[in-house]
Amino acid sequence: MTLTEEISKRRTFAIISHPDAGKTTLTEKLLLYGGAIHLAGSIKSRKTQRHAVSDWMEIEKQRGISVTSSVLQFDYAGCRINILDTPGHQDFSEDTYRTLMAVDSAVMIIDAAKGVEAQTKKLFKVCRERRVPIFTFINKLDRYGKIPLDLMDEIENVLGIPTYPMNFPIGVDGKYLGVYDRQKNLIELFAEDTTHGQVERVSEIFKPDDPEVIKRIGQEVWDALQDDLMLLDEAGEKFDKKKIDAGDLTPTFFGSAMTNFGVQNFLEEYLKLAPPPAPRLSDDGIIEPNDEKFSAFVFKIQANMNPAHRDRLAFIRICSGKFERNMQVWHAPSNKIIKLAQPQQFLAQERQIIEEAFPGDIVGLFDPGIFGIGDTITDTSHKFKFEDFPTFPPEKFARVQAKDTMKRKQFAKGIEQLTQEGAIQLFCPVGSGTDSYIVGTVGTLQFEVLQYRLKSEYNVEILMNMLNFEVARWLKFDDNKKITPSDLRGIDRGMFLHDRNENPVLLVENEWALGWIHDNNKNLIMSATPFENVE
Ligand code: G4P
């Protein structure tokens, strides 16, 4: 197969939703239809203590939330599908944002009873900013919810994106019998779900004028369907592939992940419409996926994913060319040539060593500590850097130290690794040793994760005191003179620290305190993220 053929069959996407809308269930059902698993329910059933293959960390099982982003790959209908799991919890937004940098499209799940929820709004916004095509799956149609036309209005009003229903449910709220496929002009009626969605749902396909349809669904339901379809045709959006590709129109599917209602139809239509790997911006112009020269970027780093391996993986998204095991590449930040040995891929429930991969694929690389989030790697003969990842300023801070001072070494190692993963940001009080650190995060749940992971992976218990600061600012003087605390007025209102690269950082309580410091230190420049090229 040529590089272009490999690229055109790839679909790399993330599922975005508010917690509990059904992301895990839909992922599982896509794997079921993709033939990657045989009995749905093997991924996750909290009640039977089994957990999702994407739920790697024990904390996820305990809390029932998805903490880490993971990758699943399977084949369906001639396509190679890469699903990147995004944590749904709001505290993990940073990790999620990074994952969304690595996708070519997104599937947004909406709970039919709840409509557009808070976390969905945030994730949608990120996808919209990247102009990523967004597909909507309105889930949980097996039970009572808002009516389909109202849900479409809500998506348009709250998110500002018009919908194009690809299918439309037939029946009454809570008792839908099937869907009308608007593209194919066919009716699919489902048999009763007797297995609680454990196997593929049996359905029958009819032409709309088949008298059997009215016999099965009844005249009243038929008439209501005709009214809705007429309304959609007359007042609804027209199908427009260009708008879909630009993320300006969301093809919308109705279904129920749990009972496999509309799932297969969704998967098939989605694969037809979703884009293959897209070109990416770099400091050397646009990089096309079918450029023969290999390039990729790191979007996630995860240590100790598998307690049996105790390893650290850097996840790369391939952007152009062909990836081959043991290939030599140029690593942009270090300006070094490195060898990519033991690359891993994630096929449904296992990981395995791979020999080759193509644009759109995600590969896990063993990381001896060289990779950072956002790093570009390229063919040694064409060196460039992809555009920067957005960074998010920390807003929560805590002083952290090892309970047992004898474990200082493991403590420092654990903290360092979690910092490299990008889960926390590390600061040092000026002039102190490594007995205690100041840790900054975007959300409070990361502190729990920090505590848990240090205990389970490094066997270190920690003491943690939350600090009353909510704003961090990197500092420099306008003449680039070195800053010491005594140069600054009014910083007793805050805390003067160094970041990992010894750049001065000030923590203050709030924006008001920040304003005061700003007004009283005229030649001071402050930034919410580190300055580039600090001297
Ligand atoms: P998430 O990953 O987005 O957080 O959601 P998840 O799939 O875990 O689903 C959240 C809950 O919603 C689960 O119930 C799941 O069974 C249920 N669910 C998902 N899809 C559907 C659907 O189409 N219809 C209905 N009625 N329910 C659905 P739970 O009781 O919290 O967990 P479990 O015991 O079923 O695992």
DSSP conformation letters of 354-389: -SEE-TT-EEEEE-SS---TT-EEE-TTS---BPPP
pLDDT reported for residue 379: 97
* Inter-axis angle of helices 23-33 and 263-273, nearest 10: 80
pLDDT of residue 347: 53
> Residue 25 C-alpha to ligand 1 middle, in angstroms?
6
Ligand 1 centroid to Cα of residue 13, in Å, is: 21
Query: Does 3.30.300.180 match the CATH number of domain 289-378?
Result: no
Is any ligand 1 atom within 6 A of the Cβ of residue 25?
yes
Residue 468's Cβ-count burial label (10 Å; 0-12, 13-18, 19+) is exposed
Closest residue by Cα to atom 32, ligand 1, is: 46
Atom 26, ligand 1: residue with shortest CA distance: 140
Whether the CB-CB separation of 318 and 278 falls below 8 Å is answered with no
Query: Of all atoms in ligand 1, which is nearest to the CA of residue 25?
Result: 7
Q: Is there a contact between 24 and 43 (Cβ–Cβ < 8 Å)?
A: yes
CATH architecture designation of domain 3-273? 3-Layer(aba) Sandwich (3.40)
Residue bearing the CA closest to ligand 1, atom 18: 22
Q: Is the CB of residue 27 less than 8 Å from the CB of residue 43? A: yes
- 88 CB under 6 A from ligand 1? yes
Q: Specify the DSSP class assigned to residue 201.
A: P
Summarize pLDDT for 35-57 with one digit per residue, the tens. Answer: 766 554 544 444 333 334 343 44
The Å distance, Cα 61 to ligand 1 centre, comes to 15
Atom of ligand 1 nearest to the CA of 259: 23
Q: Could you tell me the mean pLDDT of each successive run of 10 residues in the chain, 535 residues long?
A: 96 92 87 69 42 42 46 87 74 72 96 93 87 96 93 97 96 88 92 70 88 93 95 94 96 93 92 96 96 95 65 88 94 92 64 85 85 92 89 86 90 86 84 77 81 87 94 91 87 87 91 90 89 55
Beta bridge partners of 65: none
Report which of 252, 71, 79 is spatially closest to residue 163, judged by C-alpha positions: 252
The residues facing 285 across adjacent strands are: 282, 283
Q: Is 41 in the pocket of ligand 1 (CB under 6 A)?
A: no
Q: Which residues pair with 339 in a beta bridge?
A: 328
Q: Are 261 and 142 in contact (CB under 8 A)?
A: yes
- How far is residue 390's CA from residue 90's CA, in Å, rounded to a whole number? 17
Q: How far apart are CA 447 and CA 189, in angstroms?
A: 49
Closest CA to 54 of 1, 14, 101: 14
Query: Separation of 447 CA from ligand 1 center, angstroms?
Result: 27
Most ligand 1 atoms within 8 A of CB, residue of 20, 66, 67 to mutate: 20
Query: Any idea which residue has 């920390």 for tokens?
Result: 394
Task: Give the residue, by CA position, lying nearest to ligand 1 atom 10.
Answer: 20
Q: For the domain bounded by 396-533, which CATH number is listed?
A: 3.30.70.3280
* Ordered DSSP codes for 158-187: II---EEESEEEEEETTEEEEEEETTTTEE
Task: Look at the block and give the residue holding tokens 């040793």.
Answer: 433
Tell me how many helices (H) and strands (E) the chain has: 13, 31
Gap between the terminal Cα atoms of the chain: 50
Question: Which is it for strands 105-111 and 134-139: parallel, antiparallel or unpaired?
Answer: parallel
Compute, in angstroms, the gap from residue 22 CA to the centroid of ligand 1. 5
Neighbour-count burial of 19, counting CB atoms closer than 10 A to its CB (0-12 exposed, 13-18 middle, 19+ buried): middle
Contact 123, 86 (CB under 8 A): yes
Percent share of the chain, pLDDT over 70: 86
Q: Is the minimum distance from the CB of 460 to ligand 1 under 6 angstroms?
A: no
pTM over 0.85: no
Q: Locate CATH 2.40.30.10 in the chain.
A: 289-378
Q: Is the CB of 142 under 6 A from ligand 1?
A: yes
Number of residues in the chain: 535
Q: Which of 16, 17, 24, 25 to mutate to test the pocket of ligand 1 (most atoms within 8 A of CB)?
A: 25
Per-residue pLDDT, 92: 52
Residues 251, 247: Cα–Cα separation, whole Å: 10
Ligand 1 atom closest to the Cα of residue 26 is 7
Round to whole Å and give the CA distance between 329 and 337.
5
Rounded CA-CA distance 343/317 in Å is 12
The pLDDT of residue 346 is: 61
**Ligand 1 center to 20 CA (angstroms):** 6
**Measured from the CB, is residue 139 less than 6 Å from ligand 1?**
yes
**How remote is the CA of residue 66 from the centroid of ligand 1, in Å?**
13
The pLDDT, as a whole number, for residue 354 is: 81
Pull the structure tokens for residue 429. Answer: 């009080």
Q: Please give, one letter per residue, the 3-state secondary structure of 373-434.
A: CCCEEECCCCCCCECCCCCCCCCEEEEEEECCHHHHHHHHHHHHHHHHHCCCEEEEECCCCC
**Main-chain phi, psi angles of 30, to 5 degrees:** -65, -40
pLDDT tens per residue, range 375-421: 999 999 999 999 887 777 788 999 999 999 888 899 998 898 888 77
Question: Which part of the chain has CATH 3.40.50.300?
Answer: 3-273
